[in-house]
Amino acid sequence: MSITWTIVLLLITIYSNTVSSKESELLSVTVLFRHGFRTPRFLYKNDPYKQEASKIWPEGFGELTNIGKREAFALGQWYREKYRSFIPEKYNSNFLRVLSSDKDRCLMSAACSLAGLYPPKKEQIWNENLQWQPIPIHTRPVSIDGMVAADDRHCKKYDRLYQELMKSENSINFFKSKSSIFEYVSNHTGESKRTFLDITNFHDTLFIEQNYNLTLPNWTKKVFPHKTLPLLTMRYAFDSKTVELGRLKSGLLLDYITTFFEDVLQKPATSQKFLMISTHDSTIARFLNILGAYDYTWPEYASTLVFELRRKGNNDFLKIYFKDSKKIRDIKLPRCSLDCNFDDFKNITKNFRINDEEWVKECSSD
């Protein structure tokens, strides 16, 4: 067994003991996880690797790599080990629901994670040479999603509110204070870099090239990663900076997860108990932001945000934590205890919650 896997199992044991010591009953689990390591989505105009891109990244742009597949598979194994006394050994559609962004890298990550979580057992083995079984993954085209992948479903109201935010005095002053970074990156990339998204894409490309052991141009050392990463993480805070922006960007997902847990409590005999959502760093960061728990850490590949619905006596509560390759940290909502009473959670987050019918009505008109 590798040292890394030994450490992971040790962390699981320590954390499991902490939870079990509270003598609470686990009722349901929802996990949001970022897809595994992928290829760059974009190369900038002066990128030295543009001509070699098809050889370096034969998968294509924005696609899951073999490293990413292994990361997602290992995450599925982690879920299995962490919740070994809760998750049935055999896959059962009455227990598990899986959602994914319609991006290839998320769909593939969901499939890999499920392979780690649910290797076929006994009568579920359908091919002796293949320790895998098909498990349904539900998705919608990104143009009509707005929940798991929120960026591609157009909302006129959101666009207007975001532009108003960008034109505010605080925003203008912020961008002025960072103008030298934008100008420097623009001059060296050969492209205009004026927005959070521009810097996000630029930083992301350099991060991946660096992880491929490709030599970055010397000029990048003045800004990457120490100046570009803070702008990337700041972007997600701005995306959901106000209640209305957060509601329109992350409220559908909040409503879906909350409704899932409500069904568990109201229909315990028939409701599914484990919800898996394969998504993006932006989705996780914004969701943490509307919870008041975003610490401006970039959610790394195959990191996961976990919600446990638990019961102790007459108290139904949520325990929330975030796991990446380095640590597991508890998530505490403002105005709520670490073990947040479920009704308190709903009350704290109610202003962000929105269903699809409400979203369509608000977003269809400016």
Spatial CA neighbour of 258 closest among 150, 343, 153, 149: 343
Q: Are residues 250 and 349 in the same domain?
A: yes
Which three-class secondary structure state does DSSP give residue 135? coil
Which three-class secondary structure state does DSSP give residue 357? helix
361 pLDDT band, cuts 50/70/90, is very high
Pick the last residue of a domain from 196, 220, 239. 239
For residue 352, which phi and psi values (nearest 5 degrees)? -95, -15
Q: Are residues 135 and 166 in the same domain?
A: no
**Residue matched to tokens 């962000």:** 352
Pairwise CA distance, residues 139 & 126, whole Å: 26
Q: What's the rounded mean pLDDT across residues 121-150?
A: 95
Q: Decide: 158 and 249 in contact? Cβ < 8 Å.
A: yes
Q: Are residues 222 and 330 in the same domain?
A: no
Condensed to tens digits (0 to 9), the pLDDT of residues 39-74 reads 999 999 999 999 999 999 999 999 999 999 999 999
Q: Are residues 136 and 29 in the same domain?
A: yes
**C-alpha torsion angle, residues 348, 350, 352, 358 (rounded to 10):** 180
Pairwise CA distance, residues 352 & 95, whole Å: 28
Residue 35 falls in the annotated catalytic set: yes
Q: Are residues 228 and 276 in the same domain?
A: no
Which three-class secondary structure state does DSSP give residue 346? helix
Contacts of 293 (CB under 8 A, 6+ apart): 320, 331, 332, 333
Q: Are residues 99 and 198 in the same domain?
A: no
Number of folded domains in the chain?
2
366 vs 293: which has the higher pLDDT: 293
Condensed to tens digits (0 to 9), the pLDDT of residues 143-199 reads 999 999 999 899 999 999 999 999 999 999 999 999 999 999 999 999 999 999 999
Pick the last residue of a domain from 239, 264, 292. 239
Contacts of 271 (CB under 8 A, 6+ apart): 28, 260, 263, 264
Lowest mean pLDDT among 13-27, 200-214, 288-302: 13-27
For the cut 80, the answer to whether the pLDDT of residue 226 exceeds it is yes
Pairwise CA distance, residues 146 & 284, whole Å: 14
Sign for the CA dihedral angle at 239, 240, 245, 251 comes to positive
Spatial CA neighbour of 345 closest among 314, 307, 313, 312: 307
> Residue 18: its pLDDT value, please?
44
**Mode of pairing for the β-strands spanning 25-34 and 340-341:** unpaired
Q: Are residues 143 and 253 in the same domain?
A: yes
For the cut 90, the answer to whether the pLDDT of residue 6 exceeds it is no
> Residue 1: its pLDDT value, please?
42
> Residue 23: its pLDDT value, please?
86
Pick the last residue of a domain from 214, 239, 264. 239
Q: Are residues 38 and 99 in the same domain?
A: yes
DSSP state letters, 62-78: T-B-HHHHHHHHHHHHH
**Identified catalytic residue from 145, 239, 281, 316:** 281
Q: Are residues 225 and 280 in the same domain?
A: no
> Residue 11: its pLDDT value, please?
52
Paired strand residues for 64: 38
Which three-class secondary structure state does DSSP give residue 245? helix
Q: Which domain holds residue 131?
A: 3-153+240-364
Q: What's the rounded mean pLDDT across residues 273-302?
A: 98
Q: Are residues 329 and 346 in the same domain?
A: yes
Residue 330 falls in the annotated catalytic set: no
> Residue 299: its pLDDT value, please?
98
For the cut 50, the answer to whether the pLDDT of residue 3 exceeds it is no
Question: For the domain that residue 65 is a member of, what is the CATH number?
Answer: 3.40.50.1240
> Residue 21: its pLDDT value, please?
35
Which three-class secondary structure state does DSSP give residue 296? coil
Which three-class secondary structure state does DSSP give residue 127? coil
For the cut 50, the answer to whether the pLDDT of residue 96 exceeds it is yes
Q: Are residues 294 and 202 in the same domain?
A: no
> Residue 130: its pLDDT value, please?
95
> Residue 365: its pLDDT value, please?
80
Q: Are residues 161 and 142 in the same domain?
A: no
Condensed to tens digits (0 to 9), the pLDDT of residues 109-127 reads 999 999 999 999 999 999 9
